[in-house]
Amino acid sequence: MIDAVRDVLLAPRCAGCAEPGAWFCLACRDSCEPVTQRGPIAVRAAGAHEGPLRAAVHRLKYGKEPALADDLGALVARVLAGDLATGIVIDAIVPVPLHRARALARGYDQASLLAGAIGRRTGLPVRTALRRIRQGTPQVELDRIARAKNVRAAFVAEAASLRGLRVALVDDVTTTGATLRDAAAAARAAGARSVCAYVVAVEE
């Protein structure tokens, strides 16, 4: 409701190209090419963390524009739906949460908003199973080695809360994959049968 009122009072401008009419316009969406990152956890992204997509993610995270999550979530949902059509099975979407203090300071948790948008478009249930117990330094401020240490054992989940489920973690951006690996470890400890990840953008 608040977002709808805001759209009426302040017409959205594309976070990628500043054209009026949408938070992330069709032209900028069409410029995104899905990316797959191989590693300990398979990661699928709507695109590389560059150009219009990078600008949009930055505004979602730091520009107080939570409405962007719907358009960016739609991009990720398109990738995920394509994978489902090939026979990949996912039972639940699990957002990779911010620490509670950071979410309160920001006013929202962008991963939770993205997960909700993806769930609405794919019909998959969203399970808020993970909890971040260590805030740490923002990952963007650290080098690759420090990032892995910064998120080690940062997430927990209630025992058996994901038992037997094939889980898709959702986050905004991944660079080294450290955050996703730690979140995946927590999901497996909670009984997840398998874990993959979907993000808006990959920093290559």
What pLDDT, on the 0 to 100 scale, is given for residue 30?
94
Whether 39 shows a pLDDT value over 90: the answer reads no
Q: Is residue 21 part of a domain?
A: no
Q: Is residue 18 part of a domain?
A: no
Q: What is the pLDDT of residues 77-94, one digit of tens each?
A: 999 999 999 999 999 999
What pLDDT, on the 0 to 100 scale, is given for residue 89?
97
Q: Is residue 78 part of a domain?
A: yes
What pLDDT, on the 0 to 100 scale, is given for residue 188?
96
Q: Is residue 4 part of a domain?
A: no
Query: pLDDT category, 152, cuts 50, 70, 90?
Result: low
Query: pLDDT category, 153, cuts 50, 70, 90?
Result: confident
**In this predicted structure, which of 62-71, 128-137, 153-162 has the lowest mean pLDDT?**
128-137
Q: Is residue 60 part of a domain?
A: yes
What is the domain extent for residue 93?
32-202
Q: Which residues of 19-51 are buried (b: 16+ CB within 10 A; e: fewer)?
A: eeebbbbeebbeebebbebeeebbbbbbbbbee
Residues 38, 192: contact at Cβ < 8 Å?
A: no
What pLDDT, on the 0 to 100 scale, is given for residue 139?
45
Name the H helices within 48-109: 51-62, 68-85, 100-106
CA distance 1 to 5: 6
Q: What angle do CA 104, 127, 133 make, to 5 degrees?
A: 45
> Which residues have CB under 8 Å from 66's CB, separation 6+?
3, 60, 107, 108, 110, 113
CA distance 119 to 99: 22
Q: Is residue 98 part of a domain?
A: yes
Average pLDDT, the chain: 89
The number of folded domains in the chain is 1
What pLDDT, on the 0 to 100 scale, is given for residue 7?
47
DSSP β-ladder status, 92-95 and 166-174: parallel
What pLDDT, on the 0 to 100 scale, is given for residue 41?
93
What is the edge-to-edge ordering of all strands in the sheet holding 194-202? 35-37, 43-48, 194-202, 166-174, 92-95
Q: What is the CATH number of the domain that holds 158?
A: 3.40.50
Q: Is residue 153 part of a domain?
A: yes
Residues 170, 129: contact at Cβ < 8 Å?
A: no
What pLDDT, on the 0 to 100 scale, is given for residue 149?
53
Query: pLDDT category, 154, cuts 50, 70, 90?
Result: confident
Q: What is the maximum alpha-carbon separation in the chain?
A: 47
pTM of the model: 0.86
Q: What is the pLDDT of residues 164-204, one digit of tens each?
A: 999 999 999 999 898 999 999 999 999 999 999 999 999 97
Residues 20, 12: contact at Cβ < 8 Å?
A: yes
Q: Is residue 23 part of a domain?
A: no
Query: pLDDT category, 134, cuts 50, 70, 90?
Result: confident
